[in-house]
Every structure is written in structure tokens, then in C-alpha cells.
Amino acid sequence: MEFVTISSGDLTARINPFGAELWSLTDAHGREFMTAGDPAFWSGHAPLLFPIVGGLAANRYRVDGQEYELPRHGFARRSPFELMEAGECSARFRLRDSAETRAVYPFAFELEMAFVLDGTTLHMTATVRNPGDTALPFSFGYHPAFAWPLPGGSDKADHVIAFSSPETQRVRRLDPASGLMLPDAEPTPVEGHHLALDAALFEADAMIWDELVSRSLTFGTPGGAQLAIGFPDTPMLGIWQKPGAPFLCIEPWQGHADPVGFSCDFREKPGIVNLESGDARAFRMDVTVLPAD
């Protein structure tokens, strides 16, 4: 499928209609702020997670008395989206239910993904609509992989994440065997607002905040290149990389993997949205490239 390119003059974004996935974000000097997608580490760029975030126990779930199977993070990231609109600095894509999706997820839905460039900011908005007659249970998440180190010459070890609020709660982890959420949390590596980044943080896979206070953060080097990232509509966050990889995934989520031992109806899973018939729910993520001091 042909990629869609949009530009504000300050930033240029390239989007793959397969998955409506952001593949590239460059500034006016051609500097790349996204991962190169090296398959030696991970070939993804910024997949959309729908209708689940994370994994299910044995990849299966039960809803309304029936059992279905879904892969980790759902099917949106492996689905061709319809290009609804494309202009100089904006593009809009849509995924609708089909016979194929209803075989694994028995609901009518529309997932629309909009990208808008405004100066040095990329606005991304995912909107889930329920055109069906019954409540639509779902989770949604962003999974962008940003360059680490960011362009500008700073070392990886100089990069930090600065949350907008102090994040004192303990961090959740995934069971390495099943990929499900462990019941016990561990002490946070965040000191006040700041998380000093090191590959060793990710030897036990992602760090997960399921009760995040902040709705924005910065990623980068103080005084150097930074990204300001806002996610006003998502109460959870995952941060992940393959240790040693040249990227860092900063993932605002509504929902997460099944907790270890979870066996209830899908509608009762923590983080699930039950969207009433005719309603819509939007999830925004903004990425602003901040110049070095």
C-alpha cells in the first residue's frame, strides 16, 4: 500500500495505511525522531492496539457466554485501513468491522485515526464509534517507538523522562512466561518527576503504570533535543524497549494485559471501556519536537 505523507513545513510524517501506522516523523532538517524498525530488535514503528492492549490468557477471552481468540494487542495493527481524507498537513483513516473481524470479535465498530501536523506538533486522535445495538467492550493503546538517542548528538545515558506530576506509585510488570499482568508491583525507579533511562530497566520487559497521575511528559536530554508528549485521554502508560535497541516505546493505554488468573467476562476486565450503542470515545496523543536550548 502506498504511504501517505503530510507536512507542516516544520515536521513531515509518513503513515502506512496498513494499520494506520506512523512510520516516520522528521523535522525540517531531515532528522528522524522515530525508530528505523530494525528487525534485529523489533520491526514495529507505532502500531495501534485495538480491541485489546497486551495479551490474553492463552490468547482467549469470554464475552456474553462465548469464547473467542485474539492475538496480543488485537488485530488493528495487522489490518488495512481505508484512507478517508488526505491533505497537505492532515490525513484520516478508518477501519470497520467485517466478517473477518466478527469471527474473532463479534461487534460492530468503527476505528478512525486522524493525523494533523501543526508547526512542530503532531496531533493523533483515535476515535472508536459503536454503530451496533449492544455495548461495545474494548481497550485502545498507542505504541510509538521513538529514536533513542534522539537526533542531536546526546548519548542514550543522558536521556530522561520527566513526568508532569510526581509518580510515586509502584510499577507493574508482566509474567515472563505468560505475558500477563503480575499481581505484585515493584518499587518505582521514578524519583519525583524524573525517570533516568537505562536499558537495564527493561530486562524484565515493559514498565507499566496502571494508575498514572500524569497526562504528559517529556523525553530527551535536558538542554538538548526533547519530545513533549501529551495523552489527556489515557490513564495508563507502558514504557518498553528491547534492551540495547535504538528506540524507546512510550505507550499511552486504556487497558492492559489480562491479570494473572483473570477468568471473568471480557466486559469486566480492568481497563475495558463498555461503549454504549451510538456513542464514541476519542483518545488523543500529541508529540511536539522541542528545540535544544
The pLDDT score that the predictor gives to residue 245 is 95
Which residues touch 190 (CB under 8 Å, ≥6 apart)? 163, 166, 167, 168
pLDDT value at 87 more than 80: yes
How many C-beta atoms surround the C-beta of residue 142 within 10 A?
A: 27
Q: Residues 120-166: pLDDT tens digits?
A: 999 999 999 999 999 999 999 999 999 999 998 789 999 999 999 99
The distance from CA 79 to its chain's CA centroid, rounded to whole angstroms, is 16
- Of 265, 247, 267, the closest CA to residue 255 belongs to 267
Confidence band, pLDDT 50/70/90 cuts, at residue 30: very high
* Cα 99 to Cα 13: distance, rounded to the nearest angstrom: 32
Task: Find where cell 528545540 sits.
Answer: 291
Rounded to an integer, the average pLDDT of 4-20 is 98
Maximum Cα interatomic distance, the chain, rounded to a whole number of Å? 58
Assigned architecture for domain 4-290: Distorted Sandwich (2.70)
The pLDDT score that the predictor gives to residue 1 is 73
Rounded to an integer, the average pLDDT of 93-119 is 98
Confidence band, pLDDT 50/70/90 cuts, at residue 104: very high
The pLDDT score that the predictor gives to residue 152 is 86
Residue type, 85: E
The pLDDT score that the predictor gives to residue 109 is 98
The pLDDT score that the predictor gives to residue 160 is 97
The pTM (predicted TM-score) of the whole model is 0.97
* Cα 172 to Cα 26: distance, rounded to the nearest angstrom: 33
Would you list the domain boundaries of the chain? 4-290
Rounded to an integer, the average pLDDT of 96-120 is 98
* Cα 94 to Cα 87: distance, rounded to the nearest angstrom: 16
Contact 268, 229 (CB under 8 A): no
pLDDT value at 174 more than 90: yes
The pLDDT score that the predictor gives to residue 223 is 87
CA distances in angstroms from 173 to 140, 182, 183, 204, 207, listed in the order given: 19, 6, 9, 7, 6
**pLDDT over 70 for what percent of the chain?**
100
pLDDT value at 292 more than 80: no
The pLDDT score that the predictor gives to residue 161 is 98
pLDDT value at 287 more than 80: yes
The pLDDT score that the predictor gives to residue 154 is 86
Q: Residues 207-257: pLDDT tens digits?
A: 999 999 999 999 999 989 999 999 999 999 999 999 889 999 999 999 999
- Of 96, 132, 141, the closest CA to residue 274 belongs to 132
